[in-house]
Amino acid sequence: MQYISTRGNTAPMAFSDVLLMGLAPDGGLMLPQSYPTIDESTLDAWRKLDYTELAYEIMSLYATDIPAEDLRNIINKTYTKQAFGSDEIIPVTKLYDNISLLELSNGPTLAFKDVAMQFLGNAFEYVLKQKGERLTIIGATSGDTGSAAEYALRGKDNIEVFMMSPNGKMSAFQRAQMYSLDDANIHNIAVDGMFDDCQDIVKSLQEDAEFKAKYSLGTVNSINWGRILAQIVYYFKGYFAATTDNSQKISFCVPSGNFGNICAGHIAREMGLPIDRLIVATNENDVLNEFFNTGKYTPRKSNETYVTSSPSMDISKASNFERFVFLLLDKNSEQVAQLFGDVRVGKGFDLSDKLATVTSQFGFAAGKSTHQDRINTIKQVYEQTGRLIDPHTADGVKVAMDLQHEGEQILVAETALPAKFEDTIIEAVGDITLPRPEHTIGLEDKPQRVVVVDNDAKAVAALIEQYVTAR
């Protein structure tokens, strides 16, 4: 399988080359030339597989330049009971009659990003060793990506990690998770700005071809194709767990920010998984909600981005969205380049003439949740089911309940565990002691390592230079 860029000006590449890339050289996002489709009998066969076997079947369709045995090893090393807490890896748990949770958050950092990142850490180490190369990972995080990346890459050979986060905008637990790591290859940078500023710094360093080549810059942000690939697997897993045969259709509702998670669901649906609707749930930062209801995409500036109680969704420019728009526009890369060129200079675009296709052909729907909705939903679910859900998952449950059709079965992606967002949970249900996985007890008391810098790509570049040269 060959990979191409959404902007059409990058020569086709193999999986292991794409794996180490951030943005394509032409500024676009890499994706397969076409998505493979799965027939009925394959779907029947996959239903019987356990998580690692299923992951192998799906990933081997895409990672065609990695020998079968090696790919199996990477997958088996990644998806273990030890790392994810159960042999199921991604359990499905019933909340109400027709609403269940797709439990994505039982990995090392208690958020769904571990599912992809743990795979990426092992895949990176493998590919770098094969190629005899080193890599400098730069990333931007509003919380969960950064910790998931750092836990996946800590101590890995030939990899240096620089992770930017918005100074003071993450929860105490998230800060402690990241800043308490003492591995020599992990560097935390707190930027005086918002998440989107961090993301812009990453983009601008990536676009500096000389700097990029000199330090072998790579990224683990959600634009990375390897992450999307690893996420496709759990849509299949969730579907099989929630149905008894392949004539049934279910919907997924996904708390969204960068459109990474639900992009994988969209691809699973394109591959032929019987998904009815893909419901995008946003918080007050509702750029995607607006697009999927009006066809107008209007990214906001960082000073127009709200700080909310579901902070990992405080995103106003959905970096993976371009992968979907590429398909929506029948792979017209010139038009994609033009639209996202406009986005780059602060404009939006209007695809309202395509809205019917977005809904009917691609199955998308969207809804929005606010702080009060989130609080009410956490409280309601706790009182009715005894289960605590985190604020992001609450946005998903709220939107699922709002939009649910009669008889529609919806899996809501549980994108983090409540232990990460103690303040909001306590606001919702009163002063209780939150359950915490053993390995996170006492985390906030550990010493922290972080460098604070101005919102300035040059200052970050200087830091990278200094550290990489010193190693």
Ligand X SMILES: *Cc1c(COP(=O)(O)O)cnc(C)c1O
3-class state of residue 373 by DSSP: helix
CB of 160 to ligand X, least distance (A): 23
Q: CB nearer to ligand X: give 302 or 333.
A: 302
Q: Which of residues 153-212 bind ligand X (CB under 6 A)?
A: none
Q: Distance between CA atoms of 265 and 278, rounded to whole angstroms?
A: 7
Number of chain positions touching ligand X (CB under 6 A)? 16
Among the residue ranges 200-208, 255-263, 341-349, 375-383, the one whose residues contact ligand X (CB under 6 A): 255-263
What distances in angstroms separate CA 72 from CA 55, 130, 259, one per listed residue? 9, 16, 28
User: Judged by CB, which is closer to ligand X: 71, or 315?
Assistant: 315
Which entry of 48, 77, 94, 113 is annotated as an active-site residue?
113
Least gap, CB of 259 to ligand X (angstroms): 5
**Angle of CA points 107, 110, 112, to nearest 5°:** 75
228 binds ligand X (CB under 6 A): no
Which lies closer to ligand X via its Cβ, residue 160 or residue 414?
414
Q: Rule CB under 6 A: say whether 277 interacts with ligand X.
A: no
Q: Which residue has the tokens 């200094």?
A: 466
The kind and range of the H/E element at 414 are: strand 410-414
> 3-state DSSP: the chain helix, strand, coil percent, rounded to 5?
50, 15, 35
Residues 409-438 that bind ligand X (CB under 6 A): 415-416
Among 127, 313, 328, 397, binds ligand X (CB under 6 A): 313
Least distance from ligand X to the Cβ atom of residue 350, Å: 22
252 binds ligand X (CB under 6 A): no
DSSP line for 173-192 = HHHHHHHT---TTEEEEEES
Q: Is 113 a catalytic residue?
A: yes
- The DSSP-derived string for 251-312 is EEEEE-SSSHHHHHHHHHHHTT--EEEEEEEE-S--HHHHHHHHSEE-PPPGGGPPP-SSGG
Among 113, 169, 237, 277, binds ligand X (CB under 6 A): 113
Of 11-19, 84-92, 254-262, 455-463, the segment contacting ligand X by CB under 6 A is: 254-262
How near is the Cβ of 390 to ligand X at its closest, in Å? 7
Give the residue with the Cβ less far from ligand X, 121 or 257. Answer: 257
257 contributes a contact to ligand X by CB under 6 A: yes
C-beta separation of 127 from 20 below 8 A: yes
* List 6, 16, 100, 258, residue binding ligand X (CB under 6 A): 258
Tell the smallest beta-carbon distance from residue 142 to ligand X (Å).
7
DSSP string, 206-225: HH-HHHHHHTTEE--STT-H
339 CB-side CA count, 13 A: 24
Burial group, residue 81, by CB count within 10 angstroms (0-12, 13-18, 19+): exposed
Among the listed ranges 28-36, 81-89, 253-261, 460-468, the one in contact with ligand X (CB under 6 A) is 253-261
Applying CB under 6 A, the span of 12-20, 115-123, 212-220, 259-267 interacting with ligand X comes to 259-267
Burial class (CB in 10 A: 0-12, 13-18, 19+), 334: exposed
Q: Which stretch binds ligand X (CB under 6 A): 26-34, 149-157, 251-259, 322-330?
A: 251-259
Contact between 312 and ligand X by CB under 6 A: the answer reads yes
Among 166, 218, 255, 363, binds ligand X (CB under 6 A): 255
**Distance, CA of 41 to CA of 61 (rounded, Å):** 16
455: which DSSP letter? S
Q: Which of 261, 308, 377, 404 binds ligand X (CB under 6 A)?
A: 261
Q: Which is nearer to ligand X, 212 or 237 (CB)?
A: 237
What x/- string results for residues 314 through 353 when contact with ligand X is judged by CB under 6 A? Answer: ----------------------------------------
Element (H, E) at 75: helix 68-78
As measured in angstroms, the least distance from the Cβ of 324 to ligand X is: 12
CB atoms within 10 A of CB 304: 13
Q: Output 211 or 362, the one with its CB closest to ligand X.
A: 362
Chain mean position to CA 358:
21
Of the candidate spans 60-68, 256-264, 291-299, 426-434, the one that interacts with ligand X by CB under 6 A turns out to be 256-264
Cβ proximity to ligand X: between 106 and 246 the closer is 106
H or E stretch at 126: helix 113-131
Residues in 361-400 at the binding interface with ligand X, rule: CB under 6 A: 392
Residues that bind ligand X (CB under 6 A): 111, 113, 144, 222, 255-261, 312-313, 392, 415-416
- Catalogue the active-site residues: 113
